[in-house]
Amino acid sequence: MSLVDYSTKPKPCWEFEANVMILQHATTIRQGYTPVAHIGVVRQSVRIMEMSKDSKSPVELMRAGDRGLVRFRFLYQAELITPKTAILLREGNAMIIGKITTVIEA
């Protein structure tokens, strides 16, 4: 739930892109991976839809220490998020940090 001014016409989104860095992960990350995203007050599982390293060419795998542009999709409900917001993703010991670059409106 969010308290916002209706005149701003807020639109929740299902998908967004973020520049991320994988700080720690035991194996590899690939399309379909579902960590928990922490974006401000939002705590929800997300699915990785697409990944690319530093350029627009898609990649299949990312490992600890890699940076890239990743497209995510919320699993349970649309959320109100904005670009330039910090994001933390976690699952067990895995940690990924980044910043939202694009919010994709439905």
Give me the CATH number covering residue 91: 2.40.30.10
pTM over 0.85: yes
Does residue 59 lie within any of the structural domains? yes
Q: Which domain holds residue 87?
A: 10-104
Residue 3 lies in a domain: no
Q: What is the domain count for the chain?
A: 1
Structure letter (DSSP) for residue 7: G
Provide the 8-state DSSP code for 104. Answer: E
Print pLDDT tens along the chain (106 aa): 667 777 887 889 999 999 999 999 888 899 999 999 999 999 999 999 999 986 667 888 999 999 999 999 999 999 999 999 999 999 888 899 999 999 998 6
Q: For residue 105, which of 5, 2, 7, 16 has the smallest C-alpha distance?
A: 16
Q: Please state the φ and ψ torsions of residue 41, each to the nearest 5 degrees.
A: -90, -5
Look at residue 25 and tell me if it is in a domain: yes
Asked if residue 2 is part of any domain, the answer here is no
